[in-house]
Amino acid sequence: ANLENGTFKKLDVVVVGGGLVGSLEALFLAKRGHRVRLYEYREDIRNTPQARGRSINLALSIRGRTALREVGLEDHMINNHGIPMKGRNIHRIDGSTYIIPYDSRTKQCIYSVGRNYLNGLLLQESEKYENVERFFNHKLIASNLRKGFLSFQKTDTKEIVEVNADLIIGADGAFSAVRKEIMKQPLFDYNQKYIEHGYLELCIPPDSNGGFQMPPNYLHIWPRGEFMMIALPNQDCSWTVTLFMPFTHFKSLDNEDKLLKFFEKYFPDSIPLIGKQKLIADYFAGSASPLIAIKCRPYNVEDKALIIGDAAHAVVPFYGQGMNAGFEDCTILNQLFQKHHDDLAKILKEFSDTRWEDTFAISDLAMYNYIEMRDLVTRPSYLLRKAIDDVIFWLMPKVWIPLYNSVTFSTIPYTQCIKNRQWQDKVLNRSLLFLGTVTSAVGAFYVYKKFVGLS
């Protein structure tokens, strides 16, 4: 029942975008008993081979797991597919490596999951609900959100399909057509930023026995200041390697010799793992993709339309939180449906009024990480801070949660994670200042004693 008089009003919802967030949101709405029509531009991902140019695997952490748990898919993803990464395995330039566990006490970890596998699983799960229909090869080309009107073009036949809905959910990614419509309304704030770095995926194949060539249960990171490279493990014992570099650098590596020299200088240990020929082939087969951060608000048009996921808050991938934040949107939206008994005017307004602070916060955290990893990772003070963080966390796990751990291993709102970090900075700076004052006072006293001959 979702109405005052105890009856149930079945809503007619159209979800635009059958990616990770759209297909998850369809499940949440279906479970509430509403009619869901999911329109996706691409063909059914369950029938297509690996889509090029998209991060082939992703780090799933607690915020995303919590959403999957609500629709009964967390256990499957964690126990039958995801590969646990219990720490970061940092690769030094000399090829040596060291491991920093995420949480040696509670053994918390993040999971490497296949993007297409997860997307296919979410779509497959929606087949269990007869109130969900899926339409692939449908591109949203026009809409009148206030009237609940949408116009799709079928990408194969070019035929136009017109649709009406009580509610339109835009989960159509960073370049969202639904957001473009919402942008036309007054009082809509919008900001986008392309960063100078692009990314390119490479692959470390399984070894000759079909096993992993590197320790599998870690997020492998090659931090090199201006550039960084990461590797996440796949089910088939291969690794998806993502190289992040300024586009100027990608352009400068325009022949095989320059490419090999660059890898020999910065990522020497990765060359035998990837294989010289494969490195050259994969690098020149693709081109670097851009990275964009989008901040906007509000996310709704009255009680008619709402954007979620990357359509609402695309973030740079330097915290591994984009999908997790989009999945968290679904959890929060479901809580609001529950709280307001499917009263859309209240739900959409409260979602817009409250969610933007946390999505802006994770956007800032990811951008800060991008800058931090580029500039600070080589500075001893940065690594010292990380070491101090880990020691105090070990001593007082309830009070002192390192920023990365609170973002990745808790559902503390992103804004609160930042406030905790600011408090920690204050405490650290004050105690370091205090420590500094005490040591210099003690030092001065000894110098005074020694030279003034008080002894």
Ligand X SMILES: Cc1cc2nc3c(=O)[nH]c(=O)nc-3n(C[C@H](O)[C@H](O)[C@H](O)COP(=O)(O)OP(=O)(O)OC[C@H]3O[C@@H](n4cnc5c(N)ncnc54)[C@H](O)[C@@H]3O)c2cc1C
Ligand Y SMILES: Cc1cnn(-c2ccc(OCc3ccccc3)c(C(=O)O)c2)c1-c1ccc(Cl)c(F)c1
Residues that bind ligand X (CB under 6 A): 16-22, 39-42, 55, 58-59, 139-140, 171-173, 177, 199, 242, 309-311, 317, 320-324, 326
The entry of ligand Y, ligand X, none near residue 139 (CB within 5 to 8 angstroms by kind) is ligand X
Please state, in angstroms and as integers, the Cα–Cα distance from residue 383 to each residue in 116, 188, 294, 429, 455, following that order.
Answer: 35, 41, 30, 16, 41
Q: Are 177 and 141 in contact (CB under 8 A)?
A: yes
As measured in angstroms, the least distance from the Cβ of 309 to ligand Y is 17
Side-chain-side CA neighbours of 388 within 13 Å: the count stands at 13
Give the residue from 263, 216, 243, 266 showing the smallest Cα distance to 99. Answer: 216
CA atoms within 13 A of residue 117's CA, in its CB half-sphere: 18
Told to check if 263 binds ligand Y by CB under 6 A, we report no
Query: Within 45-64, which residues bind ligand Y (CB under 6 A)?
Result: 59
Tokens standing for 42?
A: 């691409």
DSSP letters for 317-368: STTS-HHHHHHHHHHHHHHHHHHTTT-HHHHHHHHHHHHHHHHHHHHHHHHH
Among 253, 248, 251, 278, CA closest to 265: 253
- Helices 256-266 and 276-285, axial angle in degrees (round to 10): 120
239 belongs to the binding site for ligand Y (CB under 6 A): no
Interface of this chain with ligand Y, residues 381 to 410, rule: CB under 6 A = 404
Listed ranges 8-16, 151-159, 177-185, 315-323: which one lies at the site for ligand Y (CB under 6 A): 315-323
| Residue entry with tokens 């081979």 | 49
Asked if 198 interacts with ligand Y (CB under 6 A), we say no
Residue closer to ligand Y by CB (options 78, 281) is 78
Is residue 161 at the binding interface for ligand Y, with CB under 6 A as the rule? Answer: no
233 binds, among ligand X, ligand Y, none (CB under 5 to 8 A by kind): none
Site string for ligand Y, 86-105 (x = CB under 6 A): --x-----------------
Nearer to ligand Y, 24 or 221 (CB): 221
> Which range binds ligand Y by CB under 6 A, 33-41, 223-231, 252-260, 342-350?
223-231
The dihedral through the CA atoms of 382, 385, 390, 391 has a sign that is: positive
Q: Residue 342: name its binding partner from ligand Y, ligand X, none (Cβ under 5 to 8 Å by kind).
A: none
* Chosen from ligand X, ligand Y, none, partner binding at 404 (C-beta under 5 to 8 Å by type): ligand Y
The entry of ligand X, ligand Y, none near residue 230 (CB within 5 to 8 angstroms by kind) is ligand Y
Residues at the site binding ligand Y, with contacts judged by CB under 6 A: 59, 88, 219, 221, 223, 228, 230, 244, 317-320, 369, 372-373, 377, 404
